[in-house]
Chains A and B, each alone.
Chain A
Amino acid sequence: MFGPKIKISKDMMEKIKKYSALAGYSSPDEFVLHALEKEIAKLEEAGSDEEIKKKLQGLGYIS
């Protein structure tokens, strides 16, 4: 209720609603989140190699 808010124009919101359903998203929120994540991924830095490998340790399916 009190989380961050972003303004989107009404016609854009209508488009988001329409295309999120068509594309198979469960909600317009999920669609917007995915679109933003894809853009941010292009700019974001990756985590450290060792840290991530450590996280995977013990996962039964891989060594």
Chain B
Amino acid sequence: MDRSSGRLGFVLPGALVLLAVSPAEAYIGPGAGFAFLSSFFVLFVTFLLAIVTILIWPIRLLIRLARRKGKLAKTDVDRVIIVGYDGLDPKLAGKWMDEGKLPNFKRLAEKGDFQPLDSSWPSMSPVAWSSFATSSDASRHSQYDFLSRDPKTYIPDLASVKIVNPTRHIKLGKYRIPLGKPVVRLLQRSIPFWKILGENGIFSQIIRVPITFPPQKFNGAVLSAMCVPDLAGTQGTFTFFTTDTEGAKAATGGVRKPIERKGNVVEAYVPGPANSMTEGQEELRVPVRVVIDEANESATIHLPGETFRLRLREFSPWKRVTFKPGLGVRVNGIVRFCVLSIRPHVELYLTPTQIDPDKPAMPISEPLFYSVYLAKLLGPYSTLGLAEDTWALNERVLDEELFLEQVWLNHEEREKMFFNAVDQTKRGLVACVFDCTDRIQHMFWRYFDENHPANRGKDTVRFKRAIEDLYVRADELLGRIMKTCDDPRTVLMVMSDHGFTEFSRGINLNSWLVENGYMAMKNGDKTCKDWFQGVDWSRTRAYSFGLTGIYINKAGREGKGIVDPKDALALKREIAAKLSGLPDEERGKTAVNDAIVAEDLYNGPYLDASPDVLPAFNTGYRISWESAVGKADGKVFSDNTKSWSGDHCVDPRLVPGVLFCNRRLARKNPAIVDIGASVLDLFGIERPRHMTGRSFFRAASEESSAGFVPRGAANG
């Protein structure tokens, strides 16, 4: 795909054509000749490919048949289409279906089935989508949270992916050239069911299903999603330039930078990755010059090699930027710009600089060229795992209107990919996850409740119907999808990984552990800073971080563990018992319905990676922002005042997802963990024994047992 080889490729066949040229045919000239030679080259390649295709196809067919694992049972299914609406809630869907606002969902439910879909335990996207992919519970795919930790150091890390940079370098003048590439490893275990489909000759296109980064090799194509980093290596860092020095302070999830206005011009930059080729590893930047046109409420943005005009509060299309760390190396990214304000202060918002899917700095798809293919076919698209900038709204850099616009811009890209895949698939699987449902519910749930603490100082009227509109749009999309899947040999499933509920009160589990004598601080303090700064591990028996639960400071596992392994289970039960029924006296509500010891939920091989105690929070409660980053702030309960006002990290029984299907299910209580097994069943493939999921197209009595599966684990 590189430019020079393309150039050579266009020229050589051109020379061949000219061997046959005569002076009489000469006057197309070299200028137009450029284009015609290119066209000829394309024709030449197409012709060559057609011949190669015909010659090779029988050989490939034989290889495929030889590699196929066993014979497929005959079924009446050619195609399975799975539409994932992350976080679509069955209660809201049911309510608006009853009110006639979601006619397509209603039609699908009437034609086939509609049931709540048990989520995973815990009911979080990385866990639930891993259960979806592997048809196994968390103790079999090892994903319990966004975060895991190194028990030796208590330092958190992403649970699903490990990126190891090369440690050896060569010095070359001012450069420090790494020997080797960074190694990116997927930490999700077990096998996705689409890999099993592939082994049986069934091709899949898996589009933006969470926890598919780094992409894994299989007979099909996958575009990675959740946990794909931006070019800076973070999970998404926006940049906010402002001439208001008051506004230029540190921000969560983003960087605020002061800029100076000189006349009508401000100079800014697009931030890129740290330059790993130099000792100082300084941030690479691409300069941006913004010329303000106050009269027309717009700005002209100058990038190297490109100039474009933007109206106030308008998102630019994706713009390609190239960072040059040196020695001819180029790193390509994409970014959107939005001029938020012109007066009194100039304010410029840049999305996180994302991996350019056309020239990916690291693989974000399998095969590698799948992301390139989609970019060439459909244009550039967001590649960041969590592409909707929720932190920019939390920080009030973007407002609700702009956030929604950003969400729908991303959504349009996803729709195009999805319909392209559906159109191509006559036999096989297409699974695509749409994130808009999750992100908008997280950020707009506060509008449901006038008393939500997140409403303080914010609009409570203008976007009151944002979530209802979201469901209506999801329904409208479903209507279009149903038109393309309207044949008896296509199974259409519309599902979500979990439902949604309010998040108005945060619970700081670390503060609770301190209060109850399980956690101790140095110097007798009651509080500690982020990531346990100040914790006295020699007197700490339990700690919490992330959004799932509590870990025992176990000797032999934790670096400074003090709890004897033989006492650990008793301690877990003690903590679980104390935590169960925890009241929020200020609100007069029970905050924790139940707290469950990991051994009572799971029995898989990765049980040891699980939090030891998993609290099942009541509606309205979630682990607080502070507790999630390993901080104890002296308060067990606090109001959640962020725009992120809805959540699903509660008792999974309170937030099931949805399952709509154009066929009737053979049994009740389907769970997300059952979907993979069900798809295998639809294609006549026997479920592998390691899967805990069961096909819901068979009555429970028809299914063979996978051995001991506790009730909780059966739910994922």
Q: Do chains A and B touch in the complex (CB under 8 A)?
A: yes
Give complex CA distance A62, B662 in Å: 37
In the complex, chain B residues whose CB is within 8 Å of the CB of A49: 153, 155, 531
Chain A residues at the B interface, C-beta cutoff of 8 Å: 21-27, 30-31, 34, 41, 46-47, 49, 52-63
Given contacts A24-B140, A24-B690, A49-B531, contact A62 B190 (CB under 8 A): no
Give complex CA distance A59, B161 in Å: 14
Do B352 and A58 have beta carbons less than 8 Å apart? yes
In the complex, chain A residues whose CB is within 8 Å of the CB of B136: 24, 26
Do A58 and B146 have beta carbons less than 8 Å apart? no
Query: A61: which of B146, B155, B605 is its contact (CB, 8 Å)?
Result: B146
Q: Can you list 13 contacts pairing A with B, beta carbon distance less than 8 Å?
A: A23-B604, A26-B136, A26-B190, A26-B688, A26-B690, A52-B157, A54-B234, A55-B229, A57-B236, A57-B253, A60-B644, A62-B628, A62-B629
Do B235 and A55 have beta carbons less than 8 Å apart? yes
**B252 lies within 8 A of chain A by Cβ:** yes
Do B229 and A59 have beta carbons less than 8 Å apart? no
Query: B629: which of A41, A47, A63 is its contact (CB, 8 Å)?
Result: A63
Given contacts A56-B156, A62-B146, contact A34 B606 (CB under 8 A): yes
Give complex CA distance A26, B189 in Å: 8
Do A58 and B157 have beta carbons less than 8 Å apart? no
Please name the residue on chain B nearest to A23 by beta carbon: B605
In the complex, chain A residues whose CB is within 8 Å of the CB of B233: 54-55
Give complex CA distance A59, B374 in Å: 26
Measured between C-beta atoms, what is the minimum distance from A18 to chain B in Å?
12
In the complex, chain A residues whose CB is within 8 Å of the CB of B352: 58
Do B150 and A63 have beta carbons less than 8 Å apart? no
Query: A58: which of B153, B230, B547, B688 is its contact (CB, 8 Å)?
Result: B230
Measured between C-beta atoms, what is the minimum distance from B673 to chain A in Å?
13
A-B contacts, CB under 8 A, total: 112
Do A63 and B390 have beta carbons less than 8 Å apart? no
In the complex, chain A residues whose CB is within 8 Å of the CB of B582: none
Do A58 and B189 have beta carbons less than 8 Å apart? no
Do A58 and B391 have beta carbons less than 8 Å apart? yes
Query: B158: which of A26, A31, A46, A56 is its contact (CB, 8 Å)?
Result: A56
Measured between C-beta atoms, what is the minimum distance from B57 to chain A in Å?
23
Please name the residue on chain A nearest to B607 by beta carbon: A24
Query: A25: which of B235, B252, B253, B605 is its contact (CB, 8 Å)?
Result: B605
**B275 lies within 8 A of chain A by Cβ:** no
**B625 lies within 8 A of chain A by Cβ:** yes
Known A-B contacts: A23-B604, A59-B146, A60-B442. Give 16 more (CB < 8 A).
Answer: A21-B689, A24-B605, A26-B191, A26-B688, A31-B605, A41-B152, A46-B155, A49-B531, A53-B531, A57-B235, A58-B391, A59-B235, A60-B236, A62-B546, A63-B252, A63-B626
Do A21 and B690 have beta carbons less than 8 Å apart? yes
